[in-house]
Amino acid sequence: MFKPKKIDLYLFKSFITLFLMTFLICIFILLMQFLWRHVTDLVGKGIAWSVLGEFFIYSTFSLVPLALPLAILLASLMTFGNLGEHFELTAMKAAGISLFRIMRPLMIFISFICLAAFYFSNYILPFAQTKMYTLIISLKSKSPEFDIPVGEFYSGITGVNMNIYIRAKDKQLLKDLMIYDFSGGFDNATVMVADSGRVQFTEDNNYLLLTLYNGESFENLKKQSISNSALSVPYRRETFKIKEMLFDFDTKFNRYNESLLQDQHVSKNIKQLSQSIDSVGKIAKLKSLEQSKEMVNRHYLGREQMYESNMLNINIKNKKILDADSLFLSFNQELMLLTSQSAIEHAKSMKGLIQYNQTILEDSTKYVMRHEIEFYRKFTLSFACLIFFFIGAPLGAIIRKGGLGTPIVISVIMFIFYYIIDNTGYKMAREGLWTAFNGMWLSSSVLLPIGIFLTYKAVVDANLLSTEQFNRFYSLLKTSSMHFFKRFNATK
């Protein structure tokens, strides 16, 4: 039975402190980047703080799959870099403690982290993503907050082609208003001026009431003109004391039902994903089999065909000429023309049927592909955490640099490399160029040999790239190039 010793507790305390710190920093950075992408859905809509709080919480949960591997990489790199920089790692090895024995408590902890990451991605992440995407859809559909700026033309009334200009504002009272209404088209514009006005919402918050005081309106009646002259355009002038205008402007925050995403891959766990893949995959296979039979029955696969001409009543099915070119050249000019037209129509019909069948199968294929991608993503998160630990810990023991300088630079470069490969595999799988298995496990298959190589280098206390190795490689390259050029010149 494993009993923790002082050295184990010391390493665990050093790692867990750095891990929590780096995890929170990574979450914060990724959250700021995520909010920047959705800032247009949040700003200027009068969203309540409770709704914003929900958005931040669900966004944070959704960013854990990106932040967790990066935090493990950075924390392990900093932990073993600090041990190497302060010669603590050298003292442990001098006492006969191997690198694997030093890493053992952290390997146990990372194993629990991997299990927790799998549980998180299988149960908590689908719930958080469903809540978050439902909230994003609801925020996008909410009307912006109504606020008319001073000295600018405002056209923020949704669904109304109107520009409002005010010179001053005193709380809710607007002064010196000028309104251009293009609802009837540019040639039938309505211009209104008023000394003052007031904006208020109805009790149900579904409509906007604009009240104008002491003003005039000028309406272009070009569409009602009966004169053919372009110069005689009638208009209507109206003077009013009070004029009220009602517009549709829903200020409520209407939250969409979460059942909207019930059948989407982001809201399902492994069991639900497997069931959806099996059921929809069987339907797609049946459709594909039916289409194949239809192609065979319609003689689209090169079987013998009968060309009949109603004009000549010619049947060539029993002709013994097997060469298509010889058969075609044996026809007269009229029959050649009819046969060519029949072949063209036949090809067009075949092309149309293939495109139709492709459209029918496309939705089912994409549905299955997205679910397979999400299925493998549940496992790649846990495996990425394990790989990044076996990259960060040996690399920190090799470079022997702690702090926030070199480890952050190396971690960011390594994570960008991982993100590019992972995103490439995901897009290849999403577009159907690769299978979902190959696309989602691409990053792990690339990083695993790197982790094994770095662990081997750290265990045997070998430098990653020493000056002696570099000089040896340079001299070998120089010698090889000289021999090559000598042989090249000799052949001339």
pLDDT (tens digit per residue) in 352-404: 777 777 777 777 888 888 889 999 999 998 999 999 999 988 888 888 877 77
> Above 90 in pLDDT, residue 90?
no
Residue 3, judged by CB atoms within 10 A of its CB (0-12, 13-18, 19+), counts as: exposed
Residue 146 pLDDT level (bands cut at 50, 70, 90): low
Q: What is the pLDDT of residue 324?
A: 61
The angle at the Cα of 366, spanning 363 to 369, to the nearest 5 degrees, equals 150
Give the per-residue SS3 of 175-234.
EEEEEEECCCCHHHCEEEEEEEEEEEECCCCCEEEEEEEEEEEEEECHHHCCCCCCCCCC
- Over residues 35-45, the mean pLDDT reads 73
Q: Is residue 319's pLDDT more than 50?
A: no
User: What's the confidence (pLDDT) of residue 461?
Assistant: 74
Res 24: pLDDT: 92
Of 152-156, 202-206, 264-268, 413-417, which gets the smallest average pLDDT? Answer: 202-206
Asked if pLDDT for residue 141 goes beyond 60, the answer is yes
pLDDT at 189 over 80: no
> What is the pLDDT at residue 37?
81
Dist CA 421 CA 441 (whole Å): 10
Q: Structure pTM?
A: 0.68
Kindly report, residue by residue over 425-445, the tens digit of the pLDDT.
Answer: 999 988 888 888 999 999 999
Q: What does the domain layout of the chain look like in residue ranges?
A: 6-142+377-401+456-477, 153-248, 270-373
Residue 29: pLDDT over 70: yes
Summarize the confidence of residues 456-460 as an average pLDDT.
83
- Cβ contact 162:148 at 8 Å: no
**Which of the residue ranges 54-58, 350-354, 373-377, 465-469 would you say has the lowest mean pLDDT?**
465-469
Say which residue, 229 or 408, is predicted with more confidence. 408
Instruction: Give Dmax over CA atoms of the chain in angstroms.
Output: 107
Residue 208 pLDDT level (bands cut at 50, 70, 90): confident
